[in-house]
Structure formats: C-alpha cells, structure tokens
Amino acid sequence: MRPSVLTCQESFGSYNRAVHKDTFARGTNAGGRAQRLELCLEFANTLHWHASERPHETLQNYEDFLAWTAAQRIVSPAELAALARLARAAQLAAAVYRRAISLREAIYRIFVARIAGKAPARNDADVLNRELLRALAHYRIEFDAEGPTWRRARQGPQLDGPLWPIVQSASELLLSQDLRERVGQCADPAGCGWLFLDLSKNRSRRWCSMQDCGNRAKQRRLQVRPK
C-alpha cells in the first residue's frame, strides 16, 4: 500500500526499476526475467488502494502515463521527448490514455481472478488480446549469438508504443507456468489490493511491503493481544 496522495516525483520514483525499453527481449537470468514480467503488475498498481471503495488514481492523463513509462525505462529519453511532442495532439493522446487505463484494469482483474482460482471475465480477456494483437505487429524475431529473441521493429515513435511492453509482460506472465502461480495480492483488509510477484522460497509473502501494510497488521495484532 502507498500513501493516498503523492506527488508525481514520489509516485513514479518508487517504481524506478531497471526495465530495458526493449522489454520483448528475453532476460539474461531468472531474476531479470521475473523483474521483466513484473512490469504489468507495477502498471496495475498505479491505481492505489485498488481493492478499496476509494481508490486513488496516479495516472490522470497521457502525460502521467508517459512519465510512469519513463520511470520504468520502457522508453528512452529521446523517445520520451518525441512522444511528448506527439502528445500535443490532445485527442489522440487522450484516446491512448483511455486504452491504457482499460488495459490496466483488465490486467488487474485478470490476475485477481487467477489468485481467487477463477476464470477471468471474457471482456477483460478481450481487452488484453486486442492490445496484444496491436503490439505483436511491431515486433519481430531476430537471431544473434545467443539465439532467437524479440526485437522491436525500426520505426518512428507512436503514442501507444509504451503499451506494448506492458501487454507483452502480462501475456508472458500469464503463460509462465513457474511464475504465474506466484502472483499475489496484499492481504490488507482495508483494500490495498497491491499485486506482487512472490519470489520467497515458501511463497509466504502476504503484504505489499512489511514497512506499510505488514507493519500495520503487526501493530493490530499487538493491540488485540491479551495483556
């Protein structure tokens, strides 16, 4: 769980992970692969208190979405500048923003359904598949010394380009037999709703962070403990 009100710098700074902009490329180790696939969960968590009755939106417009992708290193500084110029076409940027939010909520609900042992809603699967079809049109398989890997096709920046690595992350995580069962949700009863990839040895993680919801749960247990 995160504070209910954050500045853009505070909000996006907490997401600053070393995710290469060419996210379709495979990770070089297990930790890098997990981090790459966790991108979609980080995106789902941009709506704070997601499972509560009063969620807090951190992405108010396309510019906020672009700032988040920059913090995630999905786009390079040059691409960021180019996309910011393209975003001056307000109607086009607003349309991509609406797609981003729709994708985020679909991803969130799909993983929450899986955590509960349920099938995702058809509408959510349709949203993910539509965006996947769009994304795949911009990638190709190339061969190098290490073998085949995904590469982004050489082309100019597009407003919806930052969505493509997120879609790929969600798709790969859902298809990953060893990692998809490790997706968890914060157990905070107030509705934190934070999604995470539980890489603990015995899959015992319960909280978004022990410093946040985990600490509050500990304090509650202490308060009700008989004296």
Model confidence pLDDT, tens digit, residues 163-189: 999 999 999 999 998 899 999 999 888
Q: Residue 227: what pLDDT? A: 55
Q: Residue 220: what pLDDT? A: 59
Question: What number is the average pLDDT over the span 135-147?
Answer: 89
The CATH number linked to 76 is 1.10.3300.10
Question: What number is the average pLDDT over the span 188-212?
Answer: 86
- Is residue 2 domain-resident? no
pLDDT > 60? residue 12: no
- Tens-place pLDDT, residues 73-123: 999 999 999 999 999 999 999 999 999 999 999 999 999 999 999 999 999
Tell me how far CA of residue 220 lies from CA of 52, 86, 208, in angstroms: 19, 49, 17
- Is residue 1 domain-resident? no
- Tens-place pLDDT, residues 19-56: 333 333 333 345 567 888 999 999 999 999 999 999 99
Tell me how far CA of residue 164 lies from CA of 41, 74, 86, 176, 189, in angstroms: 14, 9, 17, 18, 33
Tally of structural domains, the chain: 1
Question: What number is the average pLDDT over the span 189-212?
Answer: 86
Tell me which of 38 and 225 has the higher pLDDT: 38
Residue in the structure block whose two tokens are 């890489």:
199
Rounded to the nearest 10 degrees, the angle between the axes of helix 90-115 and helix 163-175 is 10
Q: Residue 23: what pLDDT? A: 37
Please report which confidence band the pLDDT of residue 1 belongs to, taking 50, 70 and 90 as the band edges: very low
The C-alpha angle with vertex 11 and arms to 78 and 128, in degrees rounded to 5, equals: 70
- Is residue 3 domain-resident? no
- Is residue 71 domain-resident? yes
How far apart CA 43 and CA 170 sit, in angstroms, is 10
Q: By residue range, what is the domain housing residue 99?
A: 8-224
